[in-house]
Amino acid sequence: MVIQSKKVKLKNLKAKREALKEARKEKYWAFFLPVTTAIAVVNSLFWDWLILYTMGVKKGHPERLFEDQMIEQF
């Protein structure tokens, strides 16, 4: 009878260990996923800034001519 109760306790300990492992995995992913998402957003914003402000978005020649003509009319 004593041996059986020890086996039950060991099974319970194994179940608890497995539950703790699963909880650790969930905690890890709960931290890991938002962090990588935030890094991806910052990375995207950086490249947008780099392309737009260092290379510049230039207006085409016809657009500038049209704006100059509109200003001259007024």
The pLDDT value given to residue 2: 45
The phi, psi pair for 59, rounded to 5°, reads -80, 145
The pLDDT value given to residue 1: 45
Residue with tokens 């890890």: 28
Q: What is the average pLDDT score of the chain? A: 72
Per the model's pLDDT, the better-predicted residue between 32 and 64 turns out to be 32
* For residues 17-43, average pLDDT: 79
Residue with tokens 């007024």: 74
| pTM of the complete model | 0.40
Written as six digits, the tokens of 35 are: 């962090």
pLDDT digits (tens, 9 = 90+) for 51-62: 888 776 665 566
Rounded to whole angstroms, the Cα distance separating 47 from 71 reads 35
Q: How confident is the model at residue 5 (pLDDT cuts 50, 70, 90)?
A: low
Rounded to whole angstroms, the Cα distance separating 47 from 16 reads 47
